[in-house]
């Protein structure tokens, strides 16, 4: 067994450089700094997934790659924008596509910590989207990390934006949230791997 836990990131939007995907990349970088191996399935990959249909079993290289990575993962980080008070359709379709893992020895997210990130453009959608995403993780048998991340791009615009000139989170409290959540995913993955 490789000593480094494998953390998979899922999220983003169809827009290149989306806020949710940038924060997800920062979370994976924080996990890597703690010694994890990481893989990102961003908006470009998710946009190529076929619309989930449980009756269609045709091969999709994008779906197969996502399922294989999640199957091998020791932990996950999922990022979604808050669209109309909930998870985006793009991210939800990716999570629905994991239904193919239901009969695995370790189905869905079983035995894995999952950190979640929600980016919104106003606080109204933050709580509902965060709650929905955590409920989905629970339904997929994952362990929600105690720390979840909700970032409001609209509020950050008043102080110059979420990111600084080097692409890092400008607010140290936001950065702390992301680093803490990523650290929890890695720590749980390491403990779980030792116990298996």
Residue-wise pLDDT for 122-168, tens only, equals 888 999 999 999 999 999 999 999 999 999 988 777 778 899 999 99
- What CA–CA distances, in Å, run from 170 to 26, 28, 151? 12, 17, 12
Q: What confidence score (pLDDT) does residue 178 get?
A: 98
Count Cα atoms within 13 angstroms, Cβ side, for 27. 39
**Superfamily of the domain at 6-195:** Flavodoxin domain (3.40.50.360)
Please state which of the ranges 10-14, 59-63, 78-82, 104-108 shows the lowest mean pLDDT.
59-63
Give residue limits of the domains in the chain.
6-195
- Res. 56: pLDDT tops 90: no
């Amino acid at each position: 067994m490789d000593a480094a836990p494998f953390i998979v990131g899922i999220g983003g939007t169809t827009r290149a450089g989306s806020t949710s995907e940038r924060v997800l990349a920062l979370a994976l970088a924080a996990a890597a700094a703690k010694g994890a191996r990481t893989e990102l399935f961003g908006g470009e990959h998710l946009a190529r997934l076929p619309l989930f249909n449980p009756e269609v079993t045709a091969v999709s290289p994008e779906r197969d790659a996502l399922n294989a990575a999640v199957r091998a993962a020791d932990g996950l980080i999922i990022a979604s924008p808050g669209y109309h008070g909930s998870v985006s359709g793009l991210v939800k379709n990716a999570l629905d596509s994991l239904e193919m893992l239901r009969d695995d020895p370790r189905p869905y997210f079983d035995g894995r910590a999952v950190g979640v990130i929600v980016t919104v453009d106003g606080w109204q959608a933050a709580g509902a989207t965060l709650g929905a995403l955590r409920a989905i993780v629970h339904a997929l048998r994952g362990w929600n990390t105690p720390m979840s991340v909700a970032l409001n791009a609209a509020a950050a615009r008043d102080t110059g934006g979420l990111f600084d000139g080097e692409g890092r989170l400008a607010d140290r409290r936001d950065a702390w949230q992301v680093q803490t959540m990523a650290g929890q995913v890695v720590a749980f993955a390491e403990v779980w791997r030792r116990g298996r």
